[in-house]
């Protein structure tokens, strides 16, 4: 590779890293938005699970002070429980850890997909990361105690798996477990009936190629 494209790639990659670090720093150290949208409910559900950690009923259906039951499946809260248990109920970062980790996972996926799309110059990955972290919606969702980010992660996993299954150059499915479990099941466990159809749509392109994989 010529020196100039390699230098450009390094510069853009460093810029992408700066954007990621800056976004995390600004969101964590900036003014609190913990009362925005339905975040207080999410925090209450996680606290309820920890308060009644020996009662399986509260793990399955957490509530607000045992009066108002949860309106969404508790996957987000299950993921938040270890962080809150370690850092305490007052730690906002702990309550938002699932969203933050999901945001970072999406960044890694975008970066890797970019390299797959652009293997020669490898500029698409870091450019996609910059576009992602500087997008206001994801700048906010990346540090919001809501399940939206996690659902997006399951959809991306389902899309990536379906795309791999639909690739005619492949002789066998590479991500069958991620396709079925990571997308459909996780989407259902995370957003209930709202998550399942969306994750199912991500798998639809692979259905056309299913007979080919059975023959392979």
Per-residue pLDDT of the chain (216 residues), as tens digits, is 445 778 888 899 999 999 999 999 999 999 888 888 889 999 999 999 998 888 888 899 898 877 888 888 889 999 999 999 999 888 999 999 999 999 999 999 999 888 888 887 788 999 999 999 999 999 999 999 999 999 999 898 888 777 777 766 655 555 454 454 555 555 555 555 555 555 555 444 444 444 444 444
161 vs 98: CA distance, rounded Å: 22
172/205 Cα distance (integer angstroms): 15
**Domain edges within the chain:** 147-216
pTM of the model: 0.76
Upper half-sphere CA count for residue 139 (Cβ side, 13 Å): 14
Give the whole-angstrom CA distance, residue 186 versus residue 167: 24
């Amino acid at each position: 590779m010529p020196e100039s494209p390699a230098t450009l790639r390094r510069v853009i990659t460093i810029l992408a890293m700066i954007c990621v670090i800056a976004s995390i720093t600004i969101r964590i150290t900036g003014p609190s938005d913990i009362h925005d949208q339905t975040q207080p409910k999410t925090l209450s559900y996680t606290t309820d699970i920890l308060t009644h950690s020996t009662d399986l009923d509260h793990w399955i259906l957490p509530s607000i002070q045992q009066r108002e039951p949860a309106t969404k499946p508790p996957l987000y809260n299950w993921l938040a429980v270890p962080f809150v248990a370690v850092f305490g109920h007052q730690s906002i970062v702990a309550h938002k850890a699932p969203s933050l980790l999901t945001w970072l996972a999406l960044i890694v996926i975008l970066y890797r997909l970019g390299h797959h799309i652009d293997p020669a110059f490898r500029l698409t990955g870091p450019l996609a990361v910059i576009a992602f972290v500087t997008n206001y919606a994801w700048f906010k969702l990346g540090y919001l105690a809501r399940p939206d980010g996690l659902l997006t992660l399951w959809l991306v996993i389902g899309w990536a798996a379906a795309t791999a299954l639909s690739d005619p150059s492949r002789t066998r499915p590479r991500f069958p477990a991620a396709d079925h479990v990571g997308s459909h099941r996780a989407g259902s466990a995370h957003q209930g009936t709202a998550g399942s159809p969306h994750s199912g749509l991500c798998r639809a392109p692979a259905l056309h190629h299913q007979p080919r994989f059975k023959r392979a």
